[in-house]
């Protein structure tokens, strides 16, 4: 084998290593940690190794960049010697720069990164052994550069991005819907669930002016009329003023009282819980579930009635409007 052939072989091998480092960087960076965790749960040990490497992402990235730069610089040196021998010291370096730049972009960057991005989890698992070897081999260089990075970060004092993870999750769901991985109703349900904890009672409640309620002293016939006209299954009951809601009556209990038991409506009044407009609806939902109730009275800062919120109102924030055969569309 001639000297030039050896130089050509060396450049090709170095380009292969450059492509490997580029592909590993892309695969590990794009790999979904959720998918890797699922693969680990299914018994894939390589996925677990990838996750452990990604726990110290700075060290991983530093190692990859060190390896890639060593390979590329060495390739540039060897290529310059090769082309200087072939075309002379005047034209050789220029030709080497053009040829190696094109070769590195095509075969050492663009192609491997495109391939790795298509299946990052599989590719990262396939190359995790190689990555672990270079993490050990280049540890001294990685340690030195990590220390330099630490110093620079303290000097520059870069503030970490504290963006809301909920916005990122909703964007991911929207992307999944556009790509056809999720149906529209699935996307809406997931987005509503993500935003659920951001909603307060004041965003969902039925305001005081729209509350249909009855007084403790309201005649039975009048209460029946209210039930029939509004098609509600429950009615808040107040004493003297709507600012003093004392409980709720159920339609079923009311008709049982009217046609069978007889007596005052006080006998069938069920308790309600009280909350404030700024309480998270997730908190109110847990309170309603714990007390096995369906309605909460929302009190303003003066202790008066600001409105009411029902379990159905809260659930509708997750699944959308719930209609029954009696609702007016």
Strand pairing category for 241-250 and 234-239: antiparallel
What is the mean pLDDT for each group of 10 consecutive residues in the chain (329 residues)?
84 95 95 90 94 92 93 95 90 92 94 94 95 93 78 69 67 78 80 82 91 90 89 89 92 86 82 92 91 91 91 85 55
Distance, in Å, from the CA atom of 226 to the CA atom of 214, rounded to the nearest integer, reads: 8
The helix/strand count (H/E) of the chain reads as 14, 7
* pLDDT for the residue 325: 47
Q: Which residue has the tokens 């307060």?
A: 200
Q: What's the N-to-C CA distance of the chain in angstroms?
A: 86
Model confidence pTM above 0.75: no
| CA 149, 151, 155, 159 torsion-angle sign | positive
Return the exposure string of 196-206: e unless at least 16 CB atoms fall within 10 Å of the residue's CB, then b. beeebbbebbb
**Are the C-beta atoms of 120 and 26 separated by less than 8 Å?**
yes
* pLDDT for the residue 327: 52
**Are the C-beta atoms of 205 and 307 separated by less than 8 Å?**
yes
Decide: helix, strand or coil at residue 14: helix
Decide: helix, strand or coil at residue 204: coil
Q: At what angle do helices 57-103 and 3-30 cross, to 10 degrees?
A: 140
Domain residue ranges in the chain? 3-156, 170-198, 201-319
Neighbours of 17 (CB within 10 A): 17
At the fourth CATH level, the homologous superfamily of domain 201-319 is CBS-domain (3.10.580.10)
Instruction: Name the region of 292 (left: φ>0; alpha: ψ -120 to 50; beta: rest).
Output: left
* pLDDT for the residue 324: 55
β-sheet with 206-207: strand ranges across: 206-207, 305-310, 295-299, 273-275
For residue 236, the cross-strand partners are: 248
């Amino acid at each position: 084998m001639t000297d030039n052939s050896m130089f050509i072989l060396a450049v090709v091998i170095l380009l292969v290593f450059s492509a490997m480092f580029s592909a590993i960087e892309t695969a590990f960076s794009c790999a979904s940690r959720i998918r890797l965790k699922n693969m680990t749960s299914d018994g894939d040990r390589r996925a677990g190794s990838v996750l452990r490497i990604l726990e110290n992402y700075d060290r991983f990235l530093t190692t990859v960049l060190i390896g890639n730069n060593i390979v590329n610089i060495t390739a540039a040196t060897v290529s310059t010697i090769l082309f200087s021998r072939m075309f002379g010291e005047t034209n050789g370096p220029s030709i080497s720069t053009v040829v190696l730049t094109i070769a590195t972009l095509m075969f050492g960057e663009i192609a491997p990164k495109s391939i790795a991005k298509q299946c990052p989890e599989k590719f990262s698992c396939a190359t995790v052994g190689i990555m672990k070897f270079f993490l050990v081999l280049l540890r001294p260089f990685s340690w030195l550069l990590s220390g330099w990075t630490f110093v620079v970060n303290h000097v520059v004092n870069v503030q970490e991005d504290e963006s809301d993870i909920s916005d990122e999750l909703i964007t991911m769901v929207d992307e999944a819907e556009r790509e056809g991985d999720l149906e529209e109703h699935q996307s809406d349900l997931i987005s509503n669930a993500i935003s659920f904890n951001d909603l307060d009672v004041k965003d969902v409640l039925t305001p005081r002016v729209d509350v249909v309620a009855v007084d403790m002293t309201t005649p039975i016939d009048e209460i029946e009329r209210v039930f029939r006209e509004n098609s509600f299954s429950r009615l808040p009951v107040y004493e003297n003023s709507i600012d003093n809601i004392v409980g709720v009556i159920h339609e079923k209990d009311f008709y049982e009282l009217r046609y069978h038991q007889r007596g005052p409506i006080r006998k069938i009044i069920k308790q309600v819980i009280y909350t404030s407009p700024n309480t998270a609806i997730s908190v109110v939902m847990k309170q309603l579930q714990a007390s096995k109730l369906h309605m909460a009275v929302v009190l303003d800062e003066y202790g008066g009635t600001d409105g009411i919120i029902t379990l159905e109102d809260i659930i509708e924030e997750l699944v959308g409007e719930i209609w029954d055969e009696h609702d007016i569309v």
